[in-house]
Chains A and B, each alone.
Chain A
Amino acid sequence: QVQLVQSGAEVKKPGASVKVSCQASGYTFINYGISWVRQAPGQGLEWMGRISGYNGDTNFAQKFQDRVTMTTDTSTTTAYMELRNLRYDDTAMYYCARFGTTKVDYWGHGTLITVSS
Chain B
Amino acid sequence: QSALTQPASVSGSPGQSVTISCTGTSGDVGSYNLVSWHQQHPGKAPKLIIYEVNKRPSGVSNRFSGSKSGNTASLTISGLQAEDEADYSCCSYAGSSTLVFGGGTKLTVL
Contact = CB atoms under 8 A, between A and B. Distances in A.
Contacts of A84: none
Contacts of B99: 35, 47, 50, 103-104
Given A103-B36, A105-B57, A37 B101 contact: yes
B45 A110 contact: yes
Contacts of B93: 102-103
A46 interface: yes
B98 A61 contact: yes
Contact of A59 (B34, B96, B102): B96
Of B46, B57, B93, chain A has the most CB atoms within 10 Å of the CB of B46
- Size category of the binding interface on chain B: 20 to 34
B45 A61 contact: no
Contact of B34 (A62, A63, A102, A108): A102
A45 B38 contact: yes
B20 to A, nearest CB: 13
Contacts of B102: 44
A44 B103 contact: yes
